[in-house]
Amino acid sequence: MNAIFLSASVPSRERAYYETAEPFLIQAAVRELVMALRGKYRLVLGGHPAITPMVRSICEDVGADCSDSVVLYQSKFFEDQFPDENERFKNVVHIDAVPGARESSLRRMRLAMLSREDLGAAVFIGGMEGIREEYLTFRQLHPHAKVLSIAAPGGAARDLSVVDHMGAGVEELEDVNFAALFYRELRLEDDDEAQKSPY
């Protein structure tokens, strides 16, 4: 497995899934994923105003140089809104916008990002409608890849986790020991990080 796709966002107040989302747990899950992957696997994600700065901050907190191991995709449709943190990543892929069409521009970017042949797994955390679209696209393009939808932080990923884990117990779906969950489900190499306490 060369690369893992991360689909994550923090639902905003006026959007769907806001009521079920737990921003602290979204951040905790993203943090544990970045820590588990650092230096061993490439992390691929779409630029998001809440998640991109979060990933950069986590890298700095743990003293990891994520500039090479993180690949960030951005649609040029949002060029005037790119967070400053984009400049701290070496691997930023800019996808041309569909003029005047936000959703079509996002769809084009997602297709380019999810068509990567090195993606061996996908992790879904929090999120809104876009996460559902990325989930369906990933499933279509990588039908045999591992998909891990994290329930505890809420958002769209919680709904997806129920679909992915039919028959699983409530305890499994609500697990907040994200480090252990990632190491177990993604079959990552053993590391001291797997022993971290749950949030």
**Is the Cβ–Cβ distance between 73 and 109 less than 8 Å?**
yes
Residue-level pLDDT at 39: 66
Its pTM stands at 0.88
More confident residue, 148 or 88: 148
pLDDT in tens, 93-125: 999 999 999 999 999 999 999 999 999 999 999
pLDDT in tens, 46-55: 988 889 888 8
More confident residue, 88 or 70: 70
Question: What domains, with CATH codes, occur in the chain?
Answer: 3-187 (3.40.50.450)
Rounded Cα gap, residues 14 and 98, in angstroms: 25
For the chain, where are the E strands, in sequence order? 3-9, 42-46, 70-75, 91-95, 119-126, 146-150
Residue-level pLDDT at 169: 46
